[in-house]
Chain A
């Protein structure tokens, strides 16, 4: 590489993306041929690819770690995996067997218990209602015959009101609106 500062020249805008792919070897056969034909005539595009070839590989350099580092890396990773496995295995001992038969069995028992609780609760509610009605004093409770009697009184009251209204029936004035049906009713 030359020890001088040179500007990184631009490529043709339309070709730039394809030139990047060309550099990385990601172009198809046809695109590759087209790029090569173009670069044969275009100095800035050729320079652009050359510049990528100088700069980008140097950016990809990796830290060189000694062999001892990889030995300890591997050993530590395996230790961590073992620790993770040990942490998981204690609860697996309890919960993993549930995946087989214990989960449906547990579910059935839970539903049965819930059903029994609901039945007992319902019985309690019914018996509470019965005891509550038994505690009401006899004076407060209304006999069904008495209820009918009071209803007939209400009808009589409304009848007398109707009779009073019949007695003071005013003269009916006909209007434009009720001239049809109203007139017939009076007649």
Chain B
């Protein structure tokens, strides 16, 4: 299994498709952090993010024979994660912003958008800025939010985001610009 770590995604997928399912464990190890973070970006809840990202692995494994290699494994897999997250957000109605009441020092808490150096009035401003940014993200149309989170949080290139979202690069650029413009608008009084 040690040499399996060196295999590429497509080789591992091919082995899984040939019935050697244990190679999927390498893919789990390779993508578990990414999958968890994407789910966390959408849900802002660690337990939910864990469940959703694990479900994504189960779904990917169950459908591994349908993966035809027309896209890379990771864009195919990210699409599964994103779809599960969007379904969850739609069903639950709203995002649970777990980080809202956490300070920047707490693990899992989103860092505040203004560096306060622990001055009480500045901390309040930073808290408000973070709240506004989170609220803006929550109220964004799903496609804008997906484009923004995949680019800004996960660092995916626009070309790959287009594949994950099954749309054109031009459309992703528009979503990204609108998302950034909305965030900028919500933070116009801060920074």
A contact set with B: CB distance below 8 Å: 1, 3, 5-8, 16-17, 20-21, 24, 26, 48, 51-52, 54-56, 58-66, 70, 73-74, 76-78, 80-81, 84-85, 88
Q: How many A-B residue pairs have CB under 8 A?
A: 116
**Can you name 8 A-B residue pairings with CB atoms under 8 Å?**
A1-B115, A48-B184, A59-B110, A60-B152, A64-B108, A77-B32, A78-B25, A81-B58
A56 engages B180 (CB within 8 Å): yes
Tell me, in angstroms, the Cα distance from A80 to B158 when the chains sit together: 33
**A77-B57, A81-B57 known; A59 vs B153 contact (CB < 8 Å):** yes
Main secondary structure, interface of A, reads: helix
Tell me, in angstroms, the Cα distance from A112 to B102 when the chains sit together: 72
Q: Which of B122, B158, B183, B191 is the one whose CB lies under 8 Å from A6?
A: B191
Residues of B within 8 A of A61 (CB): 110-111
Give, as a whole number of angstroms, the nearest-CB distance from B153 to chain A: 5
Q: Is B92 an interface residue (CB 8 A)?
A: no
A74 engages B28 (CB within 8 Å): yes
Residues of A within 8 A of B37 (CB): 62-63
A8 engages B28 (CB within 8 Å): no
Main secondary structure, interface of B, reads: helix
Q: Is B143 an interface residue (CB 8 A)?
A: no
B153 engages A80 (CB within 8 Å): no
A51 engages B191 (CB within 8 Å): yes
Q: Is B88 an interface residue (CB 8 A)?
A: no
Q: Is B11 an interface residue (CB 8 A)?
A: no
**A7-B189, A73-B54 known; A63 vs B32 contact (CB < 8 Å):** no
Tell me, in angstroms, the Cα distance from A8 to B177 when the chains sit together: 16
Q: Is B13 an interface residue (CB 8 A)?
A: no
**A20-B177, A26-B157 known; A74 vs B58 contact (CB < 8 Å):** no
